[in-house]
Homo-oligomer: A and B are copies of this chain.
Amino acid sequence: MSSPYTLLKKDPTSRARAGTVQTRRGAIETPIFMPVGTQATVKAVSPDELYALGAQIILGNTYHLHVRPGEDLIKDLGGLHHFMQWDRSILTDSGGFQVFSLARLRKITEEGVHFQNHLDGTPTFISPEVSMQIQHNLGSDIVMAFDECPPYPCEHEAMKTSLERTLRWAKRCKEYWNCQSEFPNQERPPLVFGIVQGGSHDDLRKLSAEALVEIGFDGYAVGGVSVGEPEPEMMQAIDASIPYLPDNAPRYAMGLGTPPQMVEMVARGIDMFDCVLPTRLARNGTAFTKHGTLNLKNAPFARDTAPIEEGCTCPACQKFTRAYLRHLVKAEEILGLRLISLHNLHFYLNLMRQTRQAILEERFDVFRKEFVTGYVAHHP
């Protein structure tokens, strides 16, 4: 199996690296941030706006799209790219995380998971094969293996039991694609990523990573992070996984994180991120800057004629003042959350572009220190 990953530069002071990941829709430049488009749209943002922000790949949610409008409908209408008019890469998660966090669980068996969906309680069954089939029908470019996501904290024995089933599921996911001989129009198959689980147990992270590599995936994600654990445990979960993953495959930390967390994870060898914070916090009036977040609802911004961040090239900062944005947020006007979403997405996308540039120019160590020191921690 040839690798989709090309290494361009390795930072000598950390595990950080710059490279590209080749999907069937083009190369994406890593480290990279992937905006989250849960329900076939990045919340409040249009595809043209995402292109203008320089987004190269977005995330779609298998669980949500299965529940509504259904992958059959999307397939019949030409696939997710055509449905939502996005022609760059799409990564779809497997639905595992949502099944275990959103749905009302009925039963986990070796075969798969029975649950009632969160919308109308319809009884539903997702197995590794069903998840692959859904992602296949959506037309995903990067497909994630279907995994069980135990809640935090999870004791060693329970985690091991869950993990071993997840590994058997991972094998079935891989086999699904091995058996798919034909792709429409001789299209290349999607990339398939395995997901390292194991919680806060280093030995289980190692076991999981090694077993996934044995199966052989195009890329590897670290899952079961950002599930409520303290930040040191999150970093430890990355540190305990990365050494057992091959250098010639992309690595993806799922559902993360704050800006300094992302930079720190790049230093630990992560290439890809997705996170709802930029759009979720925007809907609450919170904007990211290199010095931390601003809650634009706060009174001092009422007459502040500065942009969210001086020098920022996003569409919000190019035209609008903090005072105007504060007014829009206070008045619950959609344009406010639209503009702050654009700013926050720009911030996340640009942070990874800057991180990549720093690695390529052999100054990641300084960049990392300056950024992480300058950013005042916040608690979303």
Contact = CB atoms under 8 A, between A and B. Distances in A.
Interface string A328-359: 10110111111100000000000000000000
Contact of A331 (B39, B83, B85, B326): B39
Given A320-B85, A334-B338, A327 B43 contact: no
| Complex copy number for this chain | 2
B73 A323 contact: yes
B83 A40 contact: no
B334 A302 contact: no
Contacts of A85: 319-320, 324
A360 interface: no
Nearest to A334: B44
Interface in A1-60: 39-41, 43-47
Interface in A241-262: none
Contacts of A41: 328, 333, 335-336
Contacts of A339: 46
A313 to B, nearest CB: 16
A321 interface: yes
Given A84-B324, A330-B69, A331-B68, A338 B44 contact: yes
A101 interface: no
A230 B337 CA distance: 38
A338 B337 CA distance: 12
A67 to B, nearest CB: 10
A319 B47 CA distance: 10
A176 to B, nearest CB: 26
Contact of A302 (B69, B319, B324, B335): B69
Contacts of A39: 327-328, 331, 333
A145 to B, nearest CB: 26
Interface in A74-90: 76-77, 83-85
A298 interface: no
A327 B76 contact: no
A334 B334 contact: yes
A156 interface: no
A188 interface: no
Contacts of A73: 302-303, 323
B323 A83 contact: yes
A327 B338 CA distance: 20
Contacts of A373: none
A321 B74 CA distance: 12
B324 A40 contact: yes
A122 interface: no
A259 to B, nearest CB: 24
Contacts of A40: 324, 327-328, 331
A320 B78 CA distance: 13
24 contacts: A39-B327, A39-B331, A39-B333, A40-B331, A41-B328, A41-B333, A41-B336, A43-B333, A43-B335, A46-B335, A68-B327, A69-B302, A69-B326, A69-B327, A73-B323, A77-B303, A77-B305, A77-B324, A83-B321, A83-B323, A84-B324, A85-B319, A334-B337, A338-B338
Given A40-B327, A46-B339, 10 more contacts: A43-B333, A46-B335, A69-B323, A69-B327, A73-B323, A77-B321, A83-B323, A83-B324, A83-B327, A84-B324
